[in-house]
Structure 1
Amino acid sequence: MRIVIAADSFKASASSLEVASSLAAGILTVIPTCEIRAVAIGDGGEGTLAALLHSGFEAFTYQVTGPAGNPVSARIAIKDGIAIVEMAEASGLGQLSEKKFAPLTATSFGTGELIVKALDHGVQTIILAIGGSATSDAGAGALQALGARLTNNSGAEIGHGGGALIDLAAIDISKLDPRISDAKFILASDVTNPLLGVNGAAHIFSPQKGATPNDVAILEAAITHFASISGGGHINSSGAGAAGGAGYMAFTFLGAKQRSGIEVVLELISFKELLVGADLVITGEGKFDSQSLSGKAPMGVLKAAQSLGIPVMMVCGQADISGETEFKKVYALTDIESDVQKCIDSPAPLLNKIGVLIANATSSQ
């Protein structure tokens, strides 16, 4: 029997490969001859770069500007003229100094620095994986790092962060890195939010980054002002509000095109080729709910496997979904351990038990 395990990471609990390893250990106790292939995946959010490094991309590490202006170590991944720039690496919540939120001042400058480093490698395509950001600056910091000047009424550069955008008087892109026009940019994200309004970057995403109601109002006004200065052509584009509005910057100044994050990743790791000959595919994520059905990693895996007629099982930390799904079976850690925190803190033994359950169910057929 051949089983492919392609689970997304369980956020704040286990990486993609840790999930696969624990499941595999359980399966092999029942079916010791089973051939198991563990594949790391991501959907454009945090962990996407790690998944691609596992599939043969090469890592390059640089010191760049973190979201709070602090120096941080961040990686890009490159293979065959394609670079992966993961926003969480340089501008993510995990890179905040002492993990303190900075909703008005956090900058995406470091992400722009990583894009410059990717261009230095002469790549033709840059994939922007923009999940997990700590910023709400509409990508303005990244734009500055790429050579644009964002100035106030006195002609001085404005400060960093979304709050500073209210001081913007002009955007000068005459010194924007000329290599941008020769590169293809792909926004790997399934976020569909526009830039502004009740479903936009400030209202939906900044509270997740520590913004108070007053901060949200400030950011909405500042980002609206930034859009008015920069033309505003993409304010209603699907995905413009992603990563605190970084999607808007990518569309407006980089000519980026949006694609499903999981589809991009599965394509880059040649996932369909890995499925040939498989009898079963196991996928998973931390929480399986209605949002999962709108394009997250497990649905991409399901779609790919279904195209080859291979059944798929879902393993998750929690399952909060009603009705039938297209998965052959759904297993949740909370079915074994009702204490959610214990599931988060110690997922390995529970995943091991689920591996046993899957193996028993599969071998009895």
Structure 2
Amino acid sequence: MRFKRGVAVTAIALTSVLSVVGCAKDSASSDNPSGGQNNNASGCQTVDKPAAASGATSSESAASDVDASQLKVGLAFDIGGRGDASFNDSAAAGLDQAIADLGVKKENTKELTATDQESEDSKQTRLRQLAQEGHNPVISVGFAYSEATKVIAGQFPNTQFAVVDGFVEGAPKNVTFLGFAEHEGSFLVGVIAALKSESCKIGFVGGVNVPLIQKFQAGFEQGVKAVAPDAEVIARYITEAGDLTGFTDAPKGQVTAKGLIDEGADVVYHAAGASGKGVFAAAKEGGVMAIGVDSDQYNQATVAEYKDVIITSMLKRVDVAVFDYIAAVAAGDMGGLPQVFDLKVNGVGYSTSGGKIDDETKEWVESYKQQIIDGEITVADTPAAS
């Protein structure tokens, strides 16, 4: 079935050769006297390109004959909703794919969107409305729905509920939590940032300072440091925990990113939802590079004016999780869903749209990717103490 992930794949065989662009651009040879590190003109040290561990990565899921035409799917978006060019749009893409490939009827779907700073009662009311109208499954997009889903799922035991990014103890059995290894995907774009940076100062903009977004920061910092141990990663958050406007305030995102650029960052990675548009604006204004998140943001129409500065995006395949969950509900078999959508099941990754990731850079990234899949590298999910 479609939601059971395939394993037929590509084994990667790479050799350790010269360091490349950015922080590594002046690395001359692999037999340098600095103990396996190379120095570029800016004084930033970079390790030699690692050889890939042997093994295979998972392919995309196989095609399916699952029939979901009888389902009425309800989707409760996080703030920003469809059109945020990031997290919510990725979830929307999963529903759109289910309509195209699984036979879900568009007229039998309903989408509702959260508002800024709303109460738990508001979240519960939204989920209750979808369940009362007969939508089954009801999919909540965002950790902020965790508690509300627990409450409403208890009131509608015959309805299947899912929460993207959520988790709460004691949830009813009709709740499925769809989690991701954001730190693993962020490690990969950290490798790219280190290879592309000229200043060896690299920025991270988080939307809201909560454990989920700290996972992005942790993996990104580790990826940068794996390639360039002496590089400096400067992290800033738009808002603190409790203020979710950090995911929807593009002007604040621009101000936050500009601050990093003013400190010398020439690559900036954001995990800030719709606020990322402001990060891209600051990058374009400052003449630096940016890294998107969740969706392949180079191809998102709502940020098209900034595509020239977007070198890659960390892909968090919320679309895959939503699609696979809908397929699982339609098939009556939840056992095919992975416990976490990680690199092994292509639940996270990186984009190459726009042609800014050359073959040499990709070899570096794929080397590290395989080592993470093989368990040779463990990626931290909390930032190192500063």
Q: What TM-score, normalized to structure 2?
A: 0.29
Q: What TM-score, normalized to structure 1?
A: 0.31
